[in-house]
Structure 1
């Protein structure tokens, strides 16, 4: 099967990029896979791409190179197809309209996969008949502004399948969108196992990772860690992620200094791969007000690190079994976050037991498992379309599907470690 992904910028840094490349790499073991990046701003991608995965771009934005296209008049003209209410609209133009339209009109793949709403819109409007049309949602339904949700209600019925990263968000789309004939499935983000074994001993460090933006609530985590420091000054907090020189990053650095935490809390900047830091971490934390999935939570768990996370919508509660392989605390509760961190810091036995449970339960996010289910679902939909003459599959709930078996691992871990 030939599967083609359409992504905003495969050469950047971010969860959607990492997830797309992880899935493409796993699919490439059995299928013909390519990633088509609308934009390219550097020579090489940040995340490693399987040698069997084709990678190409539509618009070259590498300044100082002969192929640079940022000065073309079409690039400076506004886009007409990409939805104006999509957050990435400022990065799209008449030039991207033209290039994406040409790409979709000449594509010969069996499956075309869009990786954000604006690109899904292009696929709905411009993909030629033939390829299975799959739209991925890496953000949640309620993350989208109302004008975008209205536009997607008109466009998404043209898809063959719509995927979300959580069961809860799949249910939300079923509830709030009428998509006859569109299969709605939840595919959690694939996360590979660490390439290296954990060291014999871990650092006395709480690690958090992600963009330095307000919704991640690093301010809450820093204040909670100030409480931790009072009892356990031998532990440190390390926060990894891009944005260290930006406005919010500067605010976080000022908070660290105001609390006198310069020797105990550090903004480390972006690091790739982050695996080496997870393997050294004693504990992980996530204080977010919102997580469409929780990629860094799974990455930590795959490296045998238990996570203390806020119970925010939507992903953490589907990833963490509270009290078994991590802890869930009320959103915005600084005291609860500090107390749970301290309890695990103060008990080596509890922390090690949760670490083992985290390593086992997170195996359900192995890319090969998710890729196999994704490919099987696409093949099934293609057969149905061939049999019926048109793809009009009634959208059905995911809990009875193969993903139920994957999520069943979580229940097995509960039984083992309770």
Structure 2
């Protein structure tokens, strides 16, 4: 008889954690009764198998609550989460992201079922306030297992999580692998995929591209965010509208992965950069900042990609110039990237999760 598991996360909008949960849920649904519980009602951005059940705790998110409203809201979320888990005879709850992890631990302990929690962000750059940081510190020891994505994250959480900590990498999205076509002729495109927000630091890439000899190359940025208009103005001020293109959010990112030759990633910090492993699986030669955490655990410098110091525009210009002018090196990095990306095959990662789940249920 199949056991019942439930993933718990804030929402099913676009995002790294949401994509990972959707991918894992789709792969695990043959082995378990899979349920996804979100804190707030939303329409799933990623495709889900019809056998996956979706519940939400509350219908609306109050983005600016008073202190009293916040306390009441937290109680409501936990009570509703307990009710959903209990009424659906869930055997194991799996929390994703810090605040949701805390709700999951409290709810599962109340109804006496095991839990797994999973940290997705870089804790050293956490946006948690002091109260949530304190709650995380006192609650995490009550988890059955904490899953992180990098060795650096594991070392961080060793300081106040005495329970078992497992490193499980993110899987590449199955739909992306399905839409990969290595026979499509590559074009002279440098690609960046991600939110257009300050930590992603795409203005560094725009300035660097403007400085290199890129007569036959284009820079395409896929994603939306707070800096979209600012980057539009920056590109116009550089008179590079024909060379640098802001695509915005685009559901078929495989279209650009299939066409591009180079992937450039300029983040100041990360939890685990899914887009790098996606780009590598498509055979893009990747150049990334060696930011905390993730890139250095994915990329072996000058073997399957290139690492540069965070914020170093000169190094970015230099290496982009080398890659655009050296087809042989580009091909070597491309081939090695495809081989390395096999470590993040979704079936392999799903098996690691299934092994862990079976140990705890």
For normalisation by structure 1, the TM-score amounts to: 0.79
Q: State the Cα distance separating 1:198 from its structure 2 match.
A: 2.4
Deviations 1:304-345, CA, capped at 9 Å, x for gaps? 112100000011001111111110011110010111111111
- Mapping 1:353-368, distance limit 5 Å: 353-368=332-347
- Mapping 1:89-100, distance limit 5 Å: 95-100=76-81
Measure the CA separation in 1 of the matches of 2:183 and 2:47. 24
- Mapping 1:382-397, distance limit 5 Å: 382=361
Aligned equivalent of 1:319: 298
Query: Is 2:133 the counterpart of 1:152?
Result: no
Aligned equivalent of 1:301: 280
Measure the CA separation in 2 of the matches of 1:302 and 1:37. 30
Aligned equivalent of 1:80: 71
Aligned equivalent of 1:234: 216
Distance 1:123 1:93, change over 3 A: closer
Measure the CA separation in 2 of the matches of 1:55 and 1:126. 18
* Contact 2:115–2:145 (Cα < 8 Å) also in 1: yes
Distance 1:104 1:279, change over 3 A: same
Aligned equivalent of 1:110: 91
Query: Is 2:216 the counterpart of 1:216?
Result: no
Query: Is 2:151 the counterpart of 1:170?
Result: no
Measure the CA separation in 2 of the matches of 1:371 and 1:318. 20
Q: State the Cα distance separating 1:76 from its structure 2 match.
A: 11
Measure the CA separation in 2 of the matches of 1:358 and 1:29. 30
Q: Secondary structure at the match of 1:266?
A: strand
Q: 2:119 aligns with which of 137, 146, 166?
A: 137
Q: State the Cα distance separating 1:34 from its structure 2 match.
A: 1.4
Distance 1:339 1:351, change over 3 A: same
Aligned equivalent of 2:11: 9
Aligned equivalent of 1:46: 45
Measure the CA separation in 1 of the matches of 2:207 and 2:7. 41
Distance 1:186 1:360, change over 3 A: same
* Contact 2:10–2:38 (Cα < 8 Å) also in 1: yes
Deviations 1:95-128, CA, capped at 9 Å, x for gaps? 4344224224445222201111111111222223
Deviations 1:335-385, CA, capped at 9 Å, x for gaps? 101111111111112111211111111111111111111111222234xxx
Measure the CA separation in 2 of the matches of 1:55 and 1:102. 14
Measure the CA separation in 1 of the matches of 2:290 and 2:41. 36
Q: State the Cα distance separating 1:57 from its structure 2 match.
A: 2.5
Regions of 4+ moved over 3 Å: 74-77, 92-98, 104-107
Could you tell me which runs of 5 or more consecutive residues in structure 2 were left unpaired when the two chains were aligned: none
Q: State the Cα distance separating 1:146 from its structure 2 match.
A: 6.3
Query: Is 2:59 the counterpart of 1:60?
Result: yes
* Contact 2:122–2:269 (Cα < 8 Å) also in 1: no
Aligned residues: 351
Measure the CA separation in 2 of the matches of 1:302 and 1:131. 38
* Contact 2:235–2:244 (Cα < 8 Å) also in 1: yes
Q: State the Cα distance separating 1:263 from its structure 2 match.
A: 1.0
Query: Is 2:36 the counterpart of 1:35?
Result: yes
Deviations 1:248-268, CA, capped at 9 Å, x for gaps? 221111111121211111111
Q: Secondary structure at the match of 1:171?
A: helix
Measure the CA separation in 2 of the matches of 1:378 and 1:21. 17
Query: Is 2:274 the counterpart of 1:274?
Result: no
Q: State the Cα distance separating 1:205 from its structure 2 match.
A: 0.6
Q: Secondary structure at the match of 1:78?
A: helix
Q: CA RMSD in A?
A: 2.2
Distance 1:100 1:380, change over 3 A: closer
Q: Secondary structure at the match of 2:71?
A: coil
Q: Secondary structure at the match of 1:163?
A: strand
Query: Is 2:239 the counterpart of 1:260?
Result: yes
Could you tell me which runs of 5 or more consecutive residues in structure 1 were left unpaired when the two chains were aligned: 62-69, 82-91, 383-418
Distance 1:13 1:76, change over 3 A: farther
Q: 1:189 aligns with which of 170, 174, 194?
A: 170
